[in-house]
Structure 1
Amino acid sequence: MSAIRITQSVGLSGVNNPADVKAIQTALNKLLKLLPSINALVVDGRLGSRPENSKTVAAIKQFQSKVVGMVRPDGKIDPNGRTHKNINDKLIIKSHQLRFKLPLASSNVQELTESDFLSVAKALNCKVAAIKAVAEVESSGDAFLPNGKPKILYEAHIFSRFTNHQYDSSHPSVSSRSWNRSLYVGGALEYKRLEKAMELDATEALKSTSWGRFQIMGFNFRAAGFASVEAFVKTMFTSQRKQLDAFVNFVKSKGLEEYLRTLNWAAFAQGYNGSQYAQNNYDIKLKKAFDKYDKK
């Protein structure tokens, strides 16, 4: 849905032309993820005999509070006014997100060369074995699946958080309030889960997925050097070298290169995998992989 046009004011003390009210109700339904306590509105063009008790007015006020930043939401939308412009801004962004389609496959699934590892180790001032250790532990050394798509892992608990838990009941396989290991299906089937979540909210689904050989989470797209998660994902489909470059950007952005240089695996794992890293023995796995490559 692109930008909407209203001819007269909608909401409290508004003119409330039915066509205008319908336009606002439809628009707010498209933006429900921004309104955590609002359920889908009935698109009937009416506010009822007591507009102050209307669900549509409640949604307008919450949008004004949560998105527009109004300290005292007035529940009224004027044509081309502040609230109207913010609604259209969000609709345009959402329309752009919905147009995003995953690439079919990579045209370059070649393995990283020793030269690639050497250049990155020089950039991060660490041993080659340290880079190889991360690559092995994060994705078992595989950047791409047999079908040419980058290896991924979709995280339902992150998608749930990013979408204000609104899909937990209706889509439990892709939106879960808490982490649930049983939801993982592995391999190419993870794309089925991702695509199902993308039908609900494409951008938040991409952010909720880890990508490629270094399994960088989509929500870290800026740290990896990209302006949008969509641009990050497209790059993950291109080549292992591009995935490696994103890894370098991410490590530098997070200030983790020192831990690779000093082989402080616990500190690196905490910064790279989060505070729960010990539950999966990431630091132990990294040290074991490093020792293997350092002896070669």
Structure 2
Amino acid sequence: MILRHGDVGDDVVLLQKRLTRAGFSVDVTHVFDDATEAAVMALQRARGLVVDGIAGPKTLIALPGVALGVHLTDAELVKSAATLGVPVPAIRAVNEVESRGQGFMTDGRPVILFERHVFYAGLKSRGIDADALAAKYPNIVSATRGGYMGGAAEFDRLAAAVRIHPDAARESASWGAFQIMGYHWKKLAYSSIDDYVSCMYRSEVDQLDAFVRFVAADAGLLVALKGQAWADFARRYNGPDFARNLYDAKLAQAFERYARLEKAAA
């Protein structure tokens, strides 16, 4: 469940009551209003979470004070902005839109998405008959994208691909909160695909580090992020079909929101 500014209903009432019980008093209004957003942000600061004012899974888990050791902290997000030389609201916007604020599933494994067309290309580049495999296993080997199952089922697809070729399989998945493809491991200065995957399992801070490396390695992507050229950033980050999911519009909207919040807090 994810609750944010403007939401209404019984779930908002429950959130407001839980915030008050946790020491972040707010009136029960049935509306996720400015006061509720401020209380959520105060909770996030107190718990060391990313301060975005959105009551997502990590924020709800942290309400009673549960420690979230593998999860991203606000300080790390701010640090990454300084490393790249970009405005903090820009990094916050990317964290919200691209990562949806969550790098791990509830079972502790990193979020992944297996790309069968990347696996197909990876097999071909290794001299393996990808077409024969595609005829036999179309869900995991194909010249076209697709076959997605989502969530934990993506690990089932990955496991099937690993039985064909372990390295090519892991290189064909996007990993963690920022969904950086495995085949970038060498360009991002990891020692191997296994090293990269191990880091993705370790923490969201490691996943953020992969994102920082990815942006720093692409001069055009970095310029787009610095200048909030969201269409160019989304095209470089998500591919030519970015507009279909309104990534640029969502990033622009999130950036403006975080810029307003930063200004208000100054």
Which residue is equivalent to 2:142? 176
Shift of 1:239: 0.8
Which residue is equivalent to 1:287? 252
In structure 2, the CA distance between the partners of 1:186 and 1:131, relative to structure 1 (3 Å rule), is same
Distance 2:104 2:180 in 1: 14
1:37-92 deviations in Å (ceiling 9; x for gaps):
xxxxxxxxxxxxxxxxxxxxxxxxxxxxxxxxxxxxxxxxxxxxxxxxxxxxxxxx
Shift of 1:268: 1.2
Q: Which runs of 5+ in 2 are unaligned?
A: 1-67, 125-129, 262-266
User: Which of 227, 235, 241 is equivalent to 2:205?
Assistant: 241
1:141-178 deviations in Å (ceiling 9; x for gaps):
11100011110011111111211233111111111211
The 3-state SS of whatever aligns with 1:295 is: helix
User: Which of 274, 284, 295 is equivalent to 2:239?
Assistant: 274
- Code of the aligned partner of 2:197: V
In structure 2, the CA distance between the partners of 1:223 and 1:295, relative to structure 1 (3 Å rule), is farther
Give me the TM-score of the superposition, normalised by structure 2: 0.66
Shift of 1:117: 1.3
The 3-state SS of whatever aligns with 1:146 is: coil
The 3-state SS of whatever aligns with 1:153 is: strand
Count the aligned residue pairs.
Answer: 187
1:131 matched to 2:94: no
Which residue is equivalent to 1:43? none
Q: Which runs of 5+ in 1 are unaligned?
A: 1-107
Which residue is equivalent to 1:265? 230
- Alignment check: 8 A CA contact 2:70 2:202 kept: no
Which residue is equivalent to 1:189? 153
* Runs of 4+ more than 4 Å apart: none
User: Which of 140, 148, 159 is equivalent to 2:108?
Assistant: 148
Shift of 1:266: 1.4
Distance 2:192 2:244 in 1: 31
- Alignment check: 8 A CA contact 1:219 1:229 kept: yes
Distance 1:210 1:276 in 2: 17
- Code of the aligned partner of 1:292: R
- Code of the aligned partner of 1:131: I
Distance 2:186 2:97 in 1: 23
- Code of the aligned partner of 2:104: F
In structure 2, the CA distance between the partners of 1:188 and 1:144, relative to structure 1 (3 Å rule), is same
Give me the TM-score of the superposition, normalised by structure 1: 0.60
Distance 2:193 2:97 in 1: 24
The 3-state SS of whatever aligns with 2:113 is: strand
- Code of the aligned partner of 1:236: M
Distance 2:140 2:152 in 1: 15
**Percent identity, aligned pairs only?**
39
- Code of the aligned partner of 2:222: E
